[in-house]
Chains A and B, each alone.
Chain A
Amino acid sequence: MSFSTGGALRAIASPLSRFRSVEERIGILGFTLALVFAMSQSLWAHEFKVADIEIVHPWSRETPAGAKVAAGYLLVRNNGTEDDRLVSVSGEIANRTEIHEMAVDDKGVMTMRPLGEGIEIPAGGEVELKPRSYHVMFMDLRQAPKQGESFAGTLTFEKAGTVDIEFSVDAMGGASTHMDHDDHGG
């Protein structure tokens, strides 16, 4: 039996003890490391939470040189029993941000519409902002999103309130809609 395990056990068992021995100190250290490790899991999974709302993997794409706009995507899950609504988004890279819906019709025409009312997130449901669908439109860019970096943003929900998030930046043609066909070479 290693003394660190014993130390950790004793540390958990008697949180008010004064941890004088080396074993106890090592135990505390081990326990703290384990805690940090457990908490950082959510960082790697890139999730954010506010009240019953869960936000999964906000991401953006690197923009061409000199571009004035960028798009943001994310998945919003409503674990509550009441409908909520994503009413606004902001991002540190842009002076203005709107929520848009994009579509390409069967004639190959791309249309884009601002969603002034935001997007409803139904109770127990989820909505994904993704290419060819809803997206966050960052306009009048202050800085260009660069692949491998991330930038701060906030989401405001009608009921759940405001939450700070981070958008991670993918390649220009990255993480596209090709989930359904994996032929996207290169």
Chain B
Amino acid sequence: MADDKALRRLRRSIAALGLTAVLLIGATAWLVFKPGGPLVADATDTVEIGGPFSLTTHHGETLADVDLEGAPFAVFFGFTHCPEVCPTTLWEMSETLGQLDEEADGFRMLFVSVDPVRDTPELMASYLQSFDDHIVGLTGNETEVAALAKAYRAYWRKVPLENGDYTMDHTASVYLMDAEGRFVGTIAYEEDQETRLAKLRNLLRG
């Protein structure tokens, strides 16, 4: 009799524990699998890359994100006081754009300065003479450029040198964006020629 009572109490406890466990698992599952949860990556919930901007081109004109609508584009962060990554990337992209020829009509590659204080439109205009015409230099004030870098989840940092000079650390990948301004992928630094050409061709063909 006493045993009976104890047994019933035990069963109730087990049932309660079981129910709690089911509720916990259910709640966790809902948190994980609900739209926007960590395991569900639909278009609206992935990390957004890209966003609105309005900066000055190397021709001294204003260029905003809305001006880019209707054609795919690429974004590369860099600066002209850059000994290797920036000239190499711009040179390799120029080679590839040259190969694509009229396939690249309407395409623009934005070279966004992470060193806007030194990179005036005039200096960028001189610098970009050495590269393909599809490349557009962009500069502005530090806040505007920082906002754009943030929108692209790009990293950049000023590194002091001797003599009060400085250099910049920055994300060296090229971002590929489709005609609707949606992030498609990246071209890594010194990605081989064939891959770069294939990625650009895919982007241009939509």
B47 beta carbon closer than 8 Å to chain A: no
Which one of A69, A71, A109 lies within 8 Å of B172 (CB-CB)? A109
Which residues between 171 and 187 of chain B lie within 8 Å of chain A, taking CB atoms?
Answer: 171-173, 186
B159 beta carbon closer than 8 Å to chain A: yes
Whether the Cβ atoms of A69 and B82 lie closer than 8 Å is yes
B126 beta carbon closer than 8 Å to chain A: yes
A139 beta carbon closer than 8 Å to chain B: yes
Whether the Cβ atoms of B127 and A67 lie closer than 8 Å is yes
Whether the Cβ atoms of B162 and A116 lie closer than 8 Å is yes
Which residues between 87 and 102 of chain B lie within 8 Å of chain A, taking CB atoms?
Answer: 87-88, 90-92, 95, 99
What secondary structure prevails in chain A residues at the interface with B? loop
Q: A65-B126, A137-B83 are in contact. Are A104 and B161 (CB under 8 A)?
A: no
Q: Which partner residue on chain B sits nearest A96 by CB separation?
A: B163
B67 beta carbon closer than 8 Å to chain A: no
Q: In the complex, what distance in Å separates the CA atom of A67 from the CA atom of B163?
A: 19
Whether the Cβ atoms of A65 and B84 lie closer than 8 Å is no
- Residues of chain A at interface, number, CB under 8 A: 40
The number of chain B residues touching the other chain, given as a range, is 35 or more
Q: A69-B81, A186-B99 are in contact. Are A110 and B170 (CB under 8 A)?
A: yes
Q: A63-B87, A65-B129, A69-B81 are in contact. Are A111 and B169 (CB under 8 A)?
A: yes
Whether the Cβ atoms of B127 and A70 lie closer than 8 Å is no
Q: Cβ of A102: which chain B residues have Cβ within 8 Å of it? A: 83-85
B13 beta carbon closer than 8 Å to chain A: no
Whether the Cβ atoms of A98 and B87 lie closer than 8 Å is no
Whether the Cβ atoms of A177 and B190 lie closer than 8 Å is yes
Q: In the complex, what distance in Å separates the CA atom of A112 from the CA atom of B99?
A: 32
Q: Cβ of B128: which chain A residues have Cβ within 8 Å of it? A: 64
B20 beta carbon closer than 8 Å to chain A: no
Q: Cβ of A114: which chain B residues have Cβ within 8 Å of it? A: 161-162
Q: In the complex, what distance in Å separates the CA atom of A176 from the CA atom of B98?
A: 19
Query: Residues 54-81 of chain A: 1 if any B CB is under 8 Å from the residue's CB, otherwise 0?
Result: 0000000101111111110000000000
A122 beta carbon closer than 8 Å to chain B: no
Whether the Cβ atoms of A184 and B192 lie closer than 8 Å is yes
Q: How far is the CB of A72 from chain B (nearest CB, A)?
A: 9
11 A-B pairs within 8 Å (CB atoms) are namely A67-B80, A67-B87, A68-B81, A69-B83, A110-B85, A110-B172, A116-B162, A135-B84, A139-B165, A183-B192, A186-B193
